[in-house]
Amino acid sequence: MMAGAQEQGLKLLGAASGVSPYVIRAQMALGIKGLTYDYLPEDTRCKSDLLLASNSVHKKLPVFIHGGKPVCESLIILEYLDDAFPENGASILPADPYRRVVARFWAAYVDNKLFPSCIGILKTGKPQERADKVEETLSALGLLEAALAECSKEGDAEAPFFGGGSLGLLDIALGSYLPWIEAIGHLAGMPPFLDAARTPKLAAWVERFRAAEPVRALLPPADKVEEYILAVLYPKWKAALTASATN
Q: What is the pLDDT of residue 246?
A: 73
d(CA 76, CA 80): 6
Name which residue leads in pLDDT, 113 or 9.
113
Rg of the chain (C-alpha set): 19
Complete domains list, the chain, with CATH:
5-84 (3.40.30.10), 97-226 (1.20.1050.10)
36-79 per-position pLDDT tens digit:
999 999 998 899 999 999 999 999 999 999 999 999 999 999 99
Q: What is the pLDDT of residue 153?
A: 87
- Of 148, 151, 139, the closest CA to residue 206 belongs to 148
Asked whether the predicted pLDDT for residue 3 surpasses 50, the reply is no
Q: What is the pLDDT of residue 2?
A: 42
147-174 per-position pLDDT tens digit:
999 999 887 789 999 999 999 999 999 9
Asked whether the predicted pLDDT for residue 5 surpasses 70, the reply is no
Q: What percent of the chain has pLDDT over 90?
A: 89
Predicted confidence band at 1 (pLDDT cuts at 50, 70, 90)? Answer: very low
* Beta-carbon contacts of residue 25 (< 8 Å; ≥ 6 apart): 62, 74, 75, 77, 78, 172, 173, 176
167-220 per-position pLDDT tens digit:
999 999 999 999 999 999 999 999 999 999 999 999 999 999 999 999 999 999
Asked whether 167 and 161 are in contact (CB, 8 A), the reply is yes
Asked whether 152 and 99 are in contact (CB, 8 A), the reply is no
d(CA 2, CA 115): 32
DSSP string over 91-155 = -SS-SSHHHHHHHHHHHHHIIIIIHHHHHHHHH---HHHHHHHHHHHHHHHHHHHHHHHHHTEET
